[in-house]
């Protein structure tokens, strides 16, 4: 079965910061079956919303980018050295 390779970028800011202030970014690598993309996107959104929407921080964005197998493998090696 073909898998899609996805790079998510989660954007988080501290509460009280202005919109143009510093935004923290976290990368999330994923493989997903083609028919399950919407389910996975909802899962990732829900997971990071619960993790970062606190008294101190809030998730302000979630970007998704399809990447090649080679790019996925390279990023995976960087993360799991």
The pLDDT tens digits for 19-77 are 667 899 999 999 999 889 999 999 999 999 999 999 999 999 999 999 999 999 999 99
Would you say residue 1 has pLDDT above 70? no
Would you say residue 81 has pLDDT above 80? no
Interval 1-17 mean pLDDT: 89
CA-to-CA distance for 40 and 55, rounded, in angstroms? 26
**Structural domains of the chain in order of their starting residue, each with its CATH number:** 3-79 (3.10.20)
Would you say residue 17 has pLDDT above 80? no
Distances (CA, A) of 39 to 12, 36, 60: 22, 5, 20
CA-to-CA distance for 24 and 36, rounded, in angstroms? 28
In 36-77, DSSP assigns E strands to: 57-66
């Amino acid at each position: 079965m073909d898998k899609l390779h996805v790079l998510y970028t989660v954007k988080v800011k501290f509460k009280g910061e202005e919109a143009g202030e510093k935004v923290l970014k976290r990368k999330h690598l994923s493989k997903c079956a083609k028919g399950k993309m919407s389910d996975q996107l909802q899962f990732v959104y829900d997971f990071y919303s619960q993790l970062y929407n606190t008294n101190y921080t809030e998730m302000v964005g979630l970007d998704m980018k399809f990447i090649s197998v080679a790019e996925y493998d390279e990023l995976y090696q960087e993360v799991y050295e």
